[in-house]
Amino acid sequence: MPTKYIIVTGGVLSGLGKGIAAASIGHLLSAKLKIVPIKCDGYLNVDPGTMNPFEHGEVFVLDDGAEVDMDFGHYERFLGVRCKSNWNLTMGKVFNMVRKKERRGDYLGKTVQYIPHVTDLIKDHIGQVVKEESPDLVIVEIGGTVGDIENELFLEAMRQMKKDVGRNNIVFVHLTYVPIPAGVNEQKSKPTQQSVNLLKQRGIFPDIIIGRSPEFLTPEIKTKISNFCDVKPEAVITGLDVDDIYEIPIIFEREGLPENIHKRLNIYSPPDLRKWKKLVENIRNPDKEITVAMCGKYTKLEDSYASIIESFNHCSAHLRCKVNLKWVEATGLKDAAWLDQVDGLVVPGGFGSRGSEGKIEAIRLARESNIPFLGLCLGLQLAVIEFARHVCGLDGANSTEMDAETPHPVIDILPEQRAVTEKGGTMRLGAYPALLTEGSVVHSLYGAKKVYERHRHRYEVNPDYHEVLKEKGMVFSGMSPDGKLVEFIELPELKFFCATQAHPELKSRMEFPSPLFLGFVKACMG
Ligand code: GLN
């Protein structure tokens, strides 16, 4: 069977959930097919690693160390795949490649042009991924909204692909918006019509239209969209507003999306959502409830912590326990009143000194009051600083990231990290192994001696302070295989006090929640 392609575009508005739609389509087809998701982003950054999460949402990190768009989080969580760096194509990457080729003389004698040179490069890149992975199906998500200048070249490349791969091997899915204006109380198709027209002007004729809407699309509106946009009525699918994104594959199945794709592509891979539905049902009908304080810097934008939120959803699905996240703005932490209203504290990853003192104070309160604590990356570093200051008596202990002059740099950049200058400066990125100490909390949670979690940080626990921290009772329950880097810490005499230098939230899945999150939530449940 030739490789099949599903191209997902979006119209009308950004933020309609194209990534989740693409991931959900993939989920529904994944039973029998090997699927590779590819995301094309129009921005000129080479990757989102240097973008502010407040603006762009979480930076997702892959096993191979690539910093990619947060939609890769959805792909991995919905498709059960481990994505790779070259599955994310940005205009920044494309232009880098074009310039490199031009300088190398690859185009000698030619005027280098958007069409065909840039569009060819986009298609060649996708072709290369297909060659490497031999997938049955490639899902290409085009970032942005049709009509944006930024994504024109990607759309043009997708238009050309029809001819290259054959019309029976490619399906165009367009996500739009079907509003129900207040007062009118009727589903409106005009934005969809206009957005589809923009797409048609670019030579792309959608086969399937997903209309994001607060209600199921009525047969009338489906007929109307069908008439105006030249798709079959059954190919107009509701993209319902839901509380929980894991419901989307269930909605799409109910709306007949898989059959539509099967027919168009001449494939057959019926979904089996039984287990998935049960887990979603558990999220919907919890029999317990806990409240967890999230003490971060970007508390105004939940997208900045998307994977952490999803990790808690995965725990909810398995423990039937609703996890309410109470966002505590670390920069404004003045008193401990918030502590009485929560069952646990999470200090997530972060960069820079803003809010670090507030977070350290929050960790001190959690430790002294024996409230379950989970530290992620920066959360581990701040827990070590707190312990150094208040238990080891190392006044002014800090990370050199926060205070370059600290008398006790318990967290510091290690010399070997300083030597690395590629990609994101001195960051340690991607999956690294850790060896867990037998008998430790993390060892029992993971049920394994060697675990791989993903990293994205510069600083480490300074080896000069390992001994004093250990002497005072901090357990280094996971170390890098060479024994130099602290990967997990815990305070075993407390109910639950664990932290890791990694980001276990990046590998949590609906079917396989992160063991560390699961242990933390169970501890919060008491
Ligand atoms: N800023 C810290 C470091 O670079 C922690 C990074 C993080 O939490 N991802 O080491």
The predicted structure's pLDDT at residue 117: 94
Pocket test for ligand 1, best of 52, 61, 401 (most atoms within 8 A of CB): 401
Which residue has the least CA distance to atom 8 on ligand 1? 349
* 174 is a catalytic site residue: no
* 117 is a catalytic site residue: no
Which residue has the least CA distance to atom 7 on ligand 1? 349
> Per the residue annotation, which of 67, 83, 505, 524 is the catalytic one?
505
* pLDDT tens digits along 22-75: 999 999 999 889 999 999 999 998 887 777 767 777 899 999 999 998 999 999
pTM score = 0.92
Greater confidence, 377 or 336? 377
Q: How confident is the model at residue 298 (pLDDT cuts 50, 70, 90)?
A: low
Whether residue 49 has its Cβ less than 6 Å from ligand 1: no
The predicted structure's pLDDT at residue 472: 96
> Per the residue annotation, which of 377, 392, 498, 524 is the catalytic one?
377
How far is Cα 324 from Cα 485, in angstroms, rounded to an integer? 33
pLDDT at residue 423 above 70?
Answer: no
Which residue has the least CA distance to atom 5 on ligand 1? 378
Domains of the chain, first to last: 4-187+199-278 (3.40.50.300), 286-525 (3.40.50.880)
Which runs of E-coded beta strand occur in 300-347? 321-329, 344-347
The predicted structure's pLDDT at residue 108: 85
Whether residue 296 has its Cβ less than 6 Å from ligand 1: no
How far is Cα 32 from Cα 9, in angstroms, rounded to an integer? 24
How far is Cα 473 from Cα 481, in angstroms, rounded to an integer? 22
User: Which atom of ligand 1 sits closest to the CA of residue 351?
Assistant: 1
Most confident of the ranges 67-71, 236-240, 352-356 = 236-240
* 498 is a catalytic site residue: no
Which residue has the least CA distance to atom 3 on ligand 1? 457
The predicted structure's pLDDT at residue 355: 86
Pocket test for ligand 1, best of 52, 378, 380 (most atoms within 8 A of CB): 378
Tokens of 189: 């198709």
User: Which atom of ligand 1 sits closest to the CA of residue 459?
Assistant: 10
Q: Using alpha carbons, select from 445, 457, 509, 444 the residue that is nearest to residue 487.
A: 457
Whether residue 457 has its Cβ less than 6 Å from ligand 1: yes
Least confident segment among 53-62, 235-244, 412-421, 423-432: 412-421
How many whole angstroms from its chain centre is CA 133?
A: 22
* pLDDT tens digits along 425-442: 578 999 999 999 999 999
The amino acid at residue 73 is G
